[in-house]
Chains A and B, each alone.
Chain A
Amino acid sequence: MLHNDLLQIKEKELAGRKPFTLRCCMAAGCMSSDSKGVKQQLEQAVAEAGLQDQVEVRGVGCMKLCCQGPLVQADPTGVLYEKVSPQDAAPIIAALNGAQNNLAKSDPNAPFFAKQHSIVLANSGIIDPERIESYIAADGYLALHEVLNEMTPKDVVEAMVKSGLRGRGGAGFPTGLKWGTVAKSAGAKKYVICNADEGDPGAFMDRSVLESDPHAVLEGMAIAAYAVGADQGFMYVRAEYPLAISRLQIAIKQAKQMGLLGAGIFESPFNFNVDIRIGAGAFVCGEETALMASVEGKRGTPRPRPPFPAESGLFGCPTLLNNVETFANVAPIYRKGAEWFAGIGTEKSKGTKVFALAGKIKNTGLIEVPMGTPMRTIVEDMGGGAPDGGKIKAVQTGGPSGGCIPSQHLDTPVDYESLGKLGSIMGSGGMIVMDETTGMVDVARFFMEFCMEESCGKCIPCRAGTVQMHNILDKILQRKATARDLAKLEELCDMVKNTSLCGLGQTAPNPTLSTLRFFRNEYEELLQPDKFGPRGTDAATAQPTAATQ
C-alpha cells in the first residue's frame, strides 16, 4: 500500500457513486427501531423500481438526531426522513423523482444540525462504517501516510502539543504532553490502548463513534503508536457494545488486508497491530489502571499512581491510554494541521466536544460543538429545550463523577475550566437535562447508588463510604433524616473525595456536592427536626457538676 494506492481506491470509490444515495442509519439506536428492516425494504424497493444503477442504499453510522430514528437521508436533495418504517420505502424512492409524500421529515437546517461543528463526527452518517473504501474515500488513512513519510515521531508529538488537544475521556489531560511522556519513557516494548469502556449513564458518544467511523479511531491509534514508539495496540470495549465490537473487528480485518495495520505500514519500518479486549461490564474498568489490569487478564481493580501508565503500564511497559473521541480527533489534526485545530474552541480548550444529549429535552441525540459553546445554545437552541413546554432546571455533565449545573448558569461556556469552576466536569460527554419535575436529592441518590454498586471494593472509603452516603441520602428522601445526618453526609463527601484510591471514589461525592451547592433547599425541606438530646447539651462542655444546676 502506497500513497497512490490510497488515491486510487478513493477515485474508484467516488467514480462508483450513483446519482442518488439513500443513507440509512445503522447505528445501535436506529437499529433498535428496525432500521435494518428499513434498509432491506429500501434495497428491495430500489430493485423493484429497477433503479439499481441510479440509487445506492448505504448503511451509515449515527445521523445524530437519535430521538427521531430510524433516520434516512436522501442525497443530493438532503431530505431527512424521520421515524421511518419499512413500509415507507416505496414513497421514499418515488420522492427521488420529485414525487410528493407526507412522510415525517426533519429539517436538516434546523439549529440541531446547523450549529454542529463536525470533526469527530464528520464521517458519521455519511460513510459506510463496514467498508474501508468508504473511509478512504473520505481521505481516510492519508494522515497516517503523511505522518509515517514526512514526520519524525518527535514532530508528531510536537504537532499534537501545538494542536492543544486535551483528553476527551473526562479529565482533560493535554494529549501532546501524554504522548511526549510515553515517547520519552525508556522501554523496548510499548503499548497504545484505546479506552472504549464508556460507562457513564446517559453517555453514548464513544459507542456512536466506533459504530459510525471505526477506522478513524484505528488511524488515530496508529499515529499515536508511531509517535510514542509502540507496535501493539489494544482496544478495550465493553461487552455491552456488540455492534461497536463487530464493526471494529471488520475494520481491523480490512485494515490488515490492505496493509494499513500490521508489519511495514506504507512500506515503512513501522509495525502496528490492534487487538480487541472486551470488558465484562465493570464501570471501574474505565479507570486506566483497572483497565490495564483487566487487559492483563486480572481482576479489574485500580492501583495507586505513580507509577503512571506512561512509565509503567500494561505488563509493566510504558503505555499510552487515550479515549475513543481523543483518538478520533487525531487523524483530522494531521490532515488539516495543528494550527487549524488550535483555531477552534477557546484559549485553553481546543477543538470540539461531542455530547450525548439525553433526559428531559426535545431533541435527544449526538451533538458536536466547538469548545466554549454556551450550554444554553446546546440545550435550548439545539436541544429545543424541555419537552411539553417544561422549564429546564439543571444540566448534568460528567455522569457519576460530575455535577449539576443549574439553569441560572446556562450561559456558561462549555470548556474544561468553566465547568470545573461550577463544581462539575466536562466528563466524557454525557449531558443529561433535567426539568422542574426532577428532584435533585433523587438525582444525587441515583448517582450515589451507581457508584456504590460500581465500586470495586478495594479501598475502604469508596467501598464503605458510598454505602453510608447512599444510606443517608435514602434517609433524607424518606424524611427520616435530621440536620445532623446532613452534616454527616457532607463530612463523608469530603472524606471519600480526598482519601479514595482512584477516580471513581474521588469523584463519587460530586453529584451530591454539586446538588448541595445549588439546591441545598431541596435537601433542607426534607429534613426532620432533631429529636436527639432535648436538653440541648453540648457534648464538648457538658459537665454533671452540681454547680451548673
Chain B
Amino acid sequence: MAAKTLTIDGKQITAEEGATVLQVAREAGVNIPTLCHLEGVYDVGACRLCLVEVAGVAKLLPACTTKVAEGMDIKTDSERLRKYRRMTLELLFAERNHVCAVCVSNGHCELQTLAYSQGMEHVRYDYTFPKWNVDTTHRLFGMDHNRCVLCSRCVRVCWHIEGAGTKNVSGRGSLSKIITDLNQPWGQAASCTECGKCVMACPTGALFNKGVTVGEMERDRDKLEFIVTAREKKQWIAE
C-alpha cells in the first residue's frame, strides 16, 4: 500500500492509501463528529456532520466516505463547519420528539452528546411534534420512532453483520421510517433473529431493551466490534 501524506487542521499526517479521512483523522487524534458512522459497517455519508473542507474542492466532503489523497489539505473545524453542524443538530431535534429528560438513553445518547459538544444550547426552528408510535410488540426490544434519527445503523448491522435483513427504511423525506420485515410489528417479523445488534448500534433511545427506564439504556458497542474484528481477521475459521 502506498503511503499518502496530507494535512489535517495543520497537522502533517501520513496515511495508508485507501483509508478514509475520518479514519486517518481519528488515528491522529482529530475528533470529527459523526452520527451515522458506526465502526464495523460500511459508511453512507448521510448525517453530514463529518463534512470537512478540502483546499481546492468547492464542495464540502464527508470524512467518512472520502478517501485520502496525496497532498490533501483538510480543515475539520472551521467556523462555517461548526455552524452547519449546529444547524444539522437543531434540525434533528426539531424533526421528531427528542425529550431527553424522559428518554431511556439520557446520559448515554450520541445525539445528546453531539448537541452539547457542538454548542447547541437551543433550537431556533419550530419543533414539528410529529405523531410517531412506539413498537413494543417484540419480546425483548422496543422501537420508539419519536427518537429515531434515521441514521440507518440498525439497518446496516442487521443486513451486513447479522445477515438477517429484518430492518429496512420505508417511505421518503420526513416520513421515512425504520420498519421490520414488510412493515410488520417487530414481534411478528419472522426474519428477526433476536440478536439485538440493532439495539447495540442505535445512537439514541430509539431502540431499547424492554424493561429499562429513563437513563438506563447503555449500549455495548464492544460486542459489535468483537464480531466484526473476528470476521475480518477470520478468527473463527479453523486452520
Which residues of A come within 8 Å of B, CB atoms? 282, 284, 299, 303-304, 306, 452-461, 463-468, 471, 488, 491-492, 495, 498-501
Find the A residue at minimum CB distance from B59.
A498
B173 touches A460 (CB 8 A): no
B125 touches A299 (CB 8 A): no
A453 touches B173 (CB 8 A): yes
A460 touches B92 (CB 8 A): yes
Chain A residues contacting B51 (CB-CB under 8 Å) are 499
| B33 contacts A by Cβ under 8 Å | no
A460 touches B172 (CB 8 A): no
Interface segment, one of B39-47, B102-110, B136-144, B228-236: B39-47
B172 touches A282 (CB 8 A): yes
Partner of A304, one of B62, B83, B84: B62
Given A299-B169, A495-B87, A463–B176 Cβ distance below 8 Å? yes
| B211 contacts A by Cβ under 8 Å | no
Find the B residue at minimum CB distance from A494.
B84
Chain A residues contacting B47 (CB-CB under 8 Å) are 459-460
A457 touches B176 (CB 8 A): yes
Find the A residue at minimum CB distance from B168.
A299
Q: Would you call the interface of chain A mostly helix, strand, loop, or mixed? A: helix
A499 touches B60 (CB 8 A): yes
Chain A residues contacting B117 (CB-CB under 8 Å) are none
Given A499-B51, A499-B60, A500-B48, A457–B91 Cβ distance below 8 Å? no
How far, in angstroms, from A488 to B60 measured CA to CA in the complex? Answer: 21
Partner of B172, one of A306, A455, A467, A468: A455
Q: How far is the CB of A448 from chain B (nearest CB, A)?
A: 12
Find the B residue at minimum CB distance from A461.
B48
How far, in angstroms, from A452 to B173 measured CA to CA in the complex? Answer: 7
Given A464-B94, A467-B95, A468-B91, A458–B46 Cβ distance below 8 Å? yes
B87 touches A491 (CB 8 A): yes
Partner of A303, one of B44, B126, B172, B174: B44
How far, in angstroms, from A491 to B128 measured CA to CA in the complex? Answer: 19
Given A452-B173, A461-B88, A488-B125; 11 other pairs, CB 8 A cutoff: A304-B65, A306-B67, A455-B174, A458-B150, A464-B94, A468-B94, A471-B125, A495-B87, A498-B84, A499-B84, A501-B45
Give the residues from 30 to 80 in chain B that come closer than 8 angstroms, CB to CB, to chain A.
44-48, 51, 59-60, 62, 65-67
Given A282-B172, A452-B174, A499-B88, A459–B48 Cβ distance below 8 Å? yes
Find the B residue at minimum CB distance from A453.
B173
A457 touches B45 (CB 8 A): no
Partner of B46, one of A452, A460, A466, A492: A460
Given A459-B46, A468-B126, A498–B60 Cβ distance below 8 Å? yes
| B124 contacts A by Cβ under 8 Å | yes
Find the A residue at minimum CB distance from B48.
A499
How far, in angstroms, from A145 to B236 measured CA to CA in the complex? Answer: 57
A467 touches B128 (CB 8 A): yes
| B238 contacts A by Cβ under 8 Å | no
How far, in angstroms, from A459 to B176 measured CA to CA in the complex? Answer: 11
How far, in angstroms, from A501 to B51 measured CA to CA in the complex? Answer: 10
Residue among B60, B65, B92, B171 having the largest count of chain A Cβ atoms under 10 Å: B65
Partner of B91, one of A306, A458, A464: A464
A456 touches B173 (CB 8 A): yes
Identify 29 residue pairs between A and B in the complex whose beta-carbon atoms are under 8 Å apart, listed by A's number. Answer: A304-B44, A453-B172, A455-B173, A455-B174, A456-B176, A457-B150, A457-B169, A457-B172, A457-B175, A459-B46, A460-B92, A460-B149, A461-B48, A461-B87, A463-B150, A464-B95, A467-B173, A468-B91, A468-B125, A471-B125, A471-B126, A471-B128, A488-B124, A495-B87, A498-B60, A498-B84, A499-B51, A500-B48, A501-B62
Find the A residue at minimum CB distance from B58.
A498
Find the A residue at minimum CB distance from B88.
A460
A495 touches B84 (CB 8 A): yes
Chain B residues contacting A491 (CB-CB under 8 Å) are 87
Chain B residues contacting A303 (CB-CB under 8 Å) are 44-45
How far, in angstroms, from A21 to B70 measured CA to CA in the complex? Answer: 66
How far, in angstroms, from A488 to B62 measured CA to CA in the complex? Answer: 24
How far, in angstroms, from A102 to B169 measured CA to CA in the complex? Answer: 60
Find the B residue at minimum CB distance from A458.
B46
How far, in angstroms, from A495 to B84 measured CA to CA in the complex? Answer: 6
Given A464-B94, A467-B128, A458–B44 Cβ distance below 8 Å? yes
B48 touches A454 (CB 8 A): no
Partner of B171, one of A457, A465, A466, A495: A457
How far, in angstroms, from A501 to B150 measured CA to CA in the complex? Answer: 15
Residue among A464, A465, A499, A500 having the largest count of chain B Cβ atoms under 10 Å: A464
How far, in angstroms, from A455 to B67 measured CA to CA in the complex? Answer: 27
Chain B residues contacting A282 (CB-CB under 8 Å) are 172
A460 touches B44 (CB 8 A): no
A463 touches B174 (CB 8 A): yes
Find the B residue at minimum CB distance from A301.
B169
Chain A residues contacting B83 (CB-CB under 8 Å) are 495
